[in-house]
Each structure stands twice: as C-alpha cells, then as structure tokens.
Structure 1
Amino acid sequence: MVKVEKSPNYKRIATEEAFCPVEMLDLWKKVLASPDCDPGFNSLIGFYMSSTAARPQHIMKCLTDLGEQRLAHMDESGIDRQVIALTSPGVQVLDTDSAVSFVKVANDELAQAVRNHPDRFTGMIAIAPQNPAEAAKEIQRGTELGLRGIIVNSHTHGEYLDDPRFYDIFAAAEANGQPLYLHPNTPPRNMIQPMLERGLDGAIFGFTVETGLHALRLITAGVFDKFPKLQVILGHLGETLIFQADRIDYMHQATVRSNRYESMKAIDRKPSDYLRNNFVITTSGFAEEKPIRYVLDFMGADRVMYAMDYPYQHSNEQVIQLDNLNIGDEDKVKYFQTNAERVFGIE
C-alpha cells in the first residue's frame, strides 16, 4: 500500500473510524449462538468473526487496537486524527441490561485511548437506545469524560429513533451540544430477506437503504421541529438522500396534502431544508469527484467532512484521490479539517 505524506496545507481528520473492545467479541459470540439470532447480525458479524479471508482478518485485528497499530496505519495514510466510534451494531444487538452495562465499559476504554493520544484520537459516545433514560445519562457521562459526538448504529432490534419514547436521547444531545452520528446497521428482520438472497444486505446496498430510511423517518416525523438544534451526521454521502432530495420534497408535500397516511403530517419545512440545516455529511466510502462535488454544492462547504471508514475501507490511494479534488483551497481545508473541528469541538 502506497504511503501518504502529511499535507502541508491542512490536517486530515477522518470522522467515521471504528473500534471494538475485545470483551464485546465475547458478548457477540453469545448472540450468534442464540437460537433466534438476528439474520442481519449473523450475516455481518457472523462472517467477520469466522472468515479466514484476508480482509475480514485485517478488519477484526484492527478493530480491537487503540494503540500502536492504529497509529501506524494513520501515519501510513497521512491521517492526523481519527474520530473513533464503537463499531456497528455495537451494544444495540444485546439485551437491554447487557447493553446498558457494557456501553460504559466501551466508553471508558475509548476515553482512556483519547487521554493516551489526545492529539491523534477523538472518541464518540456509545449509547444503549434500548433504555433511553440511561442513554441520556450516558451522554452526560460521556461528555464529562471528554468524548465528542454520539454514535447510534441505526435501528435497535428493528426500532427507530423517531418513536417519541427515544426523545430523551435527542434532548440530552441538544443539552450537551453533542452531534449524533447515525451510522449504518444491517436491515432488520422485516426488511432484510430479499437482500440476503443476493448478498446485498451489507455495505454494498443494504446499509444505505436502512440508514437513509432512518434519517428520513426522523425528518418526516417532525423530530427537528421538536429539537431544532439537533445535528445529525450521515456518512456515505448522505446515504443517497441528497441525490433524491427534490423528489422527496415533491412527494412528501403531495402525500401530506392527500392525507394518505395517518402517520405523515405536515412539518415546518421541506425535507431538503432539514438536510441542509440539521445534517452534516461525510464522504466515508466515496472518493469519486462528481458525486462529492454535487453533495458539496447541495449542502454547502461547511457541512461536508472527510472520513475513511477505517478499517472497513482502508485505502491510502483514496486519500490521495481526495487530496486532488478539484475544489477551492479554502473549501478543501474545511473538508479535511476545520468542519470536523467545529462539529466535534476539537481544539
């Protein structure tokens, strides 16, 4: 793999980078052994934990390291700082008590890694949405630990955050000035089967379908009317929503006017307005210039950030490709560095 030199013009801050405590692997093994294991979890984590192929072996080795190996890979890739989060699905596949208990272990481990390497690592707060009140407390505790941002690996046992019972999480995010990173998970039981039949349930397609759905549910349920200061980060160029925004606006308005669904009511603004004002987009997994420039034009240069998606998409060649984006020097500094510093409160 080609080595990437540090940029003289900006720091490269990678904003969607994953880790997994070793102890979590034991918890996941128990879930995999259960008689009613979630099919998406079995397809994703079951594969990574059992495959002998080079890529999954590399990923599993890198996920559990918060020290010299990770730093060496960052140096080889020219990455100045990683914003690190508990990998998907984190504790969200566990039972409620186990999730609430273990999320503290994960956050303590990540906070210690940040203290060990304060100039290289920023950590996000993991929560257990299974218990929203405890999740809100963990957001407060994680903030006090110095963690920045909240990681939610999309649905939790098929439940989505637009349900009002989860609103304590949004209230705590607003109160602590913390953005919420809505990261992909495999689709839930009632969505996944046609994808499994053709191997499309993971990052190739299923992730973006499921996570884009989650984000759109938040918008159309009026979450941002209730929590106007809430900022949500979406990876992978916005999980396709940016490219569909005009059609979403039109069809949302038409559906509301028709009273077709009891569950779809008028909201204060167009869906695209919330995308532009309550979301920040990362380019994790993408390096092609045309779609990135489209997203930059749609969102504005202050709302798009770089991410590598380490260790799942660990490509030094893509770093070089992104360095050569045909955008202005000021916008490139925002993209690689200053937007992340602002969004995550990095000093």
Structure 2
Amino acid sequence: MTDTSPLTTGGEIGYLRIATEEAYGPPELFDLYRKLLETTDDIGFRSLMGHYLTSDAERPRFVRDRLQDAGEKRLSEMDAAGVDHAVLALTSPGTQVLADDDAREIATITNDRIAEATATYPARFSGLAAVGFGDVPAAVKELDRAVSSLGLKGLICNSHIKGHYLDEARFFPLLEALESLGVPLYLHPNTPNNDMIKPLYEAGLDGAIFGFGLETAMHLLRMITAGVFDRFPRLKVVVGHLGEALPYWLYRLDYMHAGQVKANRYEAIKPLELKISEYFRRNIWLTTSGMPWAPTIMYAREVVGADRVMYAMDYPYEYVPDEVRMQDALPLEPAELKQFYQDIAIEVFGLDEAVLTGG
C-alpha cells in the first residue's frame, strides 16, 4: 500500500532531505532566450526553449513560472514535498547558448540572485555558480568571486558549449580552479548539438526522454577517456539521473577501452591511470534527479558505491512528491537513508550542517 501520509521537513524522520539538482533562472535570461529564438539555428535550443517559453500546456507554464522563483512559492512546494534544502543552479541550457558578453552578464546576475536567496534562507537554499564558458579567463574570475565572496558551492555546466566539451585544453584553467577551490562541477544535461541531434529530434527523443542523457553521458566519457581526471585527480564531478545510464555500461566500457588502448586504434584514446569504472568511485558522484525507481538506485549504489549516490528532485521540471515517498521507502537502514538524503550532499557540496539544522 502506498504511503499517503504528509511529507514533513525538519528531520523528525532521522534525516534532512537535501535536493541537489534544482533549477533556477532569472527573468533576464528568458528575455535573452526569447530574442535568440527569433534567429538561432540551434535545433536543440529551439526544441527545448521554444517549448518551455511559448507553450500554453500545463507543464511548461508551471516550469517557467517556478524557475524564476527563489522564495516563498518554491519554499512552499519544498515543504509540501518534505524537502528541507535545495541546491539551486542555473537551468539548462544556461549561458552556453549565449554570446560571450551576454553569458558573462547572466552569470553575474544569476550568482548574485542565488547568493541573495541563500543569505535570506540559509537553512533552505545553497547554490552553484554560473559562468560564461566562452571566455575562460573571465569564467575563472567569476567562479572565484562566486565561491570565495558569495559562498556558492560549486559550478553548474549545462553540458556542451556550442558543441565543445570540457575535455578541451582551453577549459583546463576552469577545471584547475575548481580543483583548487575544492568545489564540485555539476555536469547537467543539455540538448545535443546540431551534429548529433537530427535523428533524435526527428523521433521526438532529443530532450529529457533520451537525448539529454545521451549527450551528457558522452560529455562525461570524453572527460574520462581524454585523461581529465588524471590531470586533475582531485576534481569532483556530480552528474544527475543516476549517471545518465553509464553505471549500467561500466563493465563494457572498461573492457572496450582496454581493447582500444591495446589496438592503438584512435589517436584520442590513450592509456589511463585507472579503469573508467574506477573514476566513478574516485571522482564522480551521482544524483537521483528524475530517477526515483528503487531498482536503478540500488543498482547504482552497488556498482559505484553507496557513498556516491545522493538524492535530487529535479524541480521544477519534475515535481512529484510521491517520488520522495518512493525514495523514503528504499530498502535501506535509517543510517543509510541519512547518508543518501543528507550526509553525502553535505560532504560533496561543503554545506554547513549547523546552518541546515538550525544548530
């Protein structure tokens, strides 16, 4: 029988529910997106934002309204779902589709607004920094400001940057800054770029149903196989949706990568210090955003480690309080549920437990 009792906050159940992939966007961003829709040839952007910014269907209206709120409306819906704390981050596709000047401006606005929300509601919100990835020196500077001065807890990257990926050497100063600051990168989905999206778009599979995960999984794999985590061994990466299906592939990825190295088949494939699967146990954490199903959560915990899988809701794109009940009902001991909902997030994002608990 499904539990229909009210979900509560405050930790009386033995843990705080910390949601770690919760989207936000300032109104200025959506003004720029509306202008961009008039001129862009980016198929994925037109598909994603053309829907969420123009459709009158119930779900896109809900999403675009809630994305812009970092106050009482969001808090009331967190309360109704029993979510104690949300890690806010700039919604996809973030700054990645914007011109450099606009990207820098939106990143600054977003970071200031999220910082204001966290200062107003410190027990309820923390946040990740946004940057304009096209101007890497400016991005490094803004990341440092956001973390060191504003108190933000990491960096959001909404996957590809106009078809470019973080394994490219020009982005290494930003990865070096993340490692030096000791904060994580959250690698969040985006629609695939024009070079890979067409067969997905034709089938209606370009978005969250499949294309998001496909594109983001490829991005993370590129980072691993390019040796990014050998160059930056202390870099922390968080990826949602239970790792975009990659945990299911780990044996095959290890096996095939070893064969490619031995055959010297591709210039891009070089020996690594670890197996692909081992980077998941050293550098990568997964969240359950949009993936509340017990069999998949338990499988991910088994193959990457229980200390690598934490809770997320994916608000407002997926706001289903019953999914919280599904995860409360995981076959875990109370201490394991506390680790899953609370402790891992505190450790990875460097949250202040005393602030969260009012201590």
Q: Normalization by structure 2: what TM-score? A: 0.95
Q: Secondary structure at the match of 1:296?
A: helix
Query: 1:267, 1:321 → 2: CA distance?
Result: 38
Residue-by-residue CA offset, 1:14-60 (whole Å, 9 max, x unaligned): 000001101111111111011x3311000001110010000110001
Runs of 4+ in 1 over 2 A off after TM superposition: none
User: Does the alignment pair 1:85 with 2:104?
Assistant: no
Output aligned runs, 1:1-347, within 5 Å: 3-6=6-9, 7-8=11-12, 9-34=14-39, 36-143=40-147, 144-347=149-352
2:191 and 2:5 map into 1 onto residues whose CA distance is 32
1:43 is aligned with what amino acid? S
How far, CA to CA, are the matches of 1:156 and 1:3 in structure 2?
A: 42
In structure 2, C-alpha distance between the alignment counterparts of 1:157 and 1:2, rounded to whole Å: 46
> Structure 1 CA distance, aligned partners of 2:6 and 2:21?
21
Identity percentage of aligned residues: 47
Question: 1:125 touches 1:142 (CA, 8 Å); kept in 2?
Answer: yes
Rounded to whole Å, the distance in 2 between the matches of 1:252 and 1:329 is 39
Q: 1:131: Cα distance to partner? A: 1.2
Instruction: Report the secondary structure of 1:126's partner residue.
Output: coil
SS across alignment from 2:319? coil
Gaps of at least 5 residues in structure 2 are 353-359
Pair 1:61–1:3, CA change in 2 (3 A): farther
**How far, CA to CA, are the matches of 1:132 and 1:330 in structure 2?**
42
For residues 124-161 of structure 1, the C-alpha deviation after alignment (integer angstroms, 9 at most, x for no partner) is 00111111111111110011201001100000100000
Which whole-Å CA distance do the structure 2 matches of 1:314 and 1:101 have between them? 29
CA contact (8 A) 1:171 1:227 kept: yes
Paired with 2:201 and 2:98, the residues of 1 have a C-alpha distance of 22
Say if 1:2 and 1:316, in contact at 8 Å, map to a contact too. Answer: no
- Report the 3-state secondary structure (helix = DSSP H, G, I; strand = E; otherwise coil) of the residue aligned with 2:126: strand
Q: Match of 1:83, SS?
A: strand
Tell me if structure 2 keeps the 8 A contact 1:31–1:37: no
CA RMSD of aligned residues (A): 1.1
User: 1: distance between equivalents of 2:240 and 2:125?
Assistant: 19
Q: 1:200 to 1:2 in 2, by over 3 A?
A: farther
CA deviations over 1:270-302 (Å, ceiling 9, x no partner): 100111110000011111111110111112221
Deviation at 1:3, TM superposition (A): 4.3
Answer whether contact 1:3 1:316 (CA < 8 A) is retained: no
TM-score, normalisation: structure 1: 0.98
Unaligned 5+ runs, structure 1: none
Q: Distance in 2 between matches of 1:101 and 1:17?
A: 21
Moved more, 1-10 or 16-25: 1-10
